[in-house]
């Protein structure tokens, strides 16, 4: 939780100073501000499992968590588009297209990592399978949440989900 609060404070500071981080800085910051890390830690409790430290600290498990966190973070935020516009000099549509590709890549990365999971024995492997499924459920659930709540699409979430078209506000005049 300490990492989460520190990162949210950094995000608030950036907002007040109108600072826009570059993509390399944004990715780890967004992983921390998403709150997903704290939720992932609670998954073991919710699933009534206790993963050994060697599993929790394994590179593939960490990569799975990062991929899930990126998917959760990028599927429900417009900030990535602004970062890409600023950092890569893209126009809005190109940044949206690039963000879409990054988001798609997170799913591929997740599946690649899943295929690289080693075996820790039958009992531990069963717990790992439950944990990895929970990470995937977070990814899918977050995407559905974005359409089912009014946060991003107002009352038209179902329409946006069906059409895959997002109406944008007009550009504001530069003051």
Q: Which regions in the chain score pLDDT beneath 70? A: 76-78, 174-175
Q: How many CA atoms lie within 13 A of 23 on its CB side?
A: 16
pTM recorded for the entire structure: 0.84
- What's the confidence (pLDDT) of residue 167? 82
CATH fold of the domain at 2-159: Farnesyl Diphosphate Synthase (1.10.600)
- What's the confidence (pLDDT) of residue 76? 61
Give the domain ranges of the chain.
Answer: 2-159
State how far the alpha carbon of 46 is from the alpha carbons of 9, 34, 37, 41, 170, in Å: 29, 19, 14, 9, 44
């Amino acid at each position: 939780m300490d990492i989460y609060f520190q990162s949210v404070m950094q995000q608030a500071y950036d907002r007040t100073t109108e600072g826009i981080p570059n993509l390399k800085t944004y990715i780890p910051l967004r992983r921390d501000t998403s709150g997903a890390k704290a939720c992932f830690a609670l998954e073991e409790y919710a699933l009534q499992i206790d993963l050994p430290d060697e599993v929790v600290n394994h590179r593939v498990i960490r990569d799975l968590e990062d991929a899930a966190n990126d998917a959760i973070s990028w599927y429900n935020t417009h900030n990535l588009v602004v970062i890409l516009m600023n950092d890569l000099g893209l126009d809005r549509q190109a940044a949206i297209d690039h963000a879409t590709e990054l988001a798609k890549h997170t799913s591929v990365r997740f599946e690649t990592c899943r295929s690289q999971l080693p075996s820790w024995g039958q009992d531990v492997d069963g717990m790992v399978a439950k944990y990895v499924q929970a990470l995937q459920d977070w990814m899918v659930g977050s995407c559905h949440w974005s359409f089912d709540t009014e946060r991003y699409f107002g009352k038209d979430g179902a329409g946006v989900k069906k059409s895959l078209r997002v109406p944008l506000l007009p550009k504001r005049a530069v003051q």
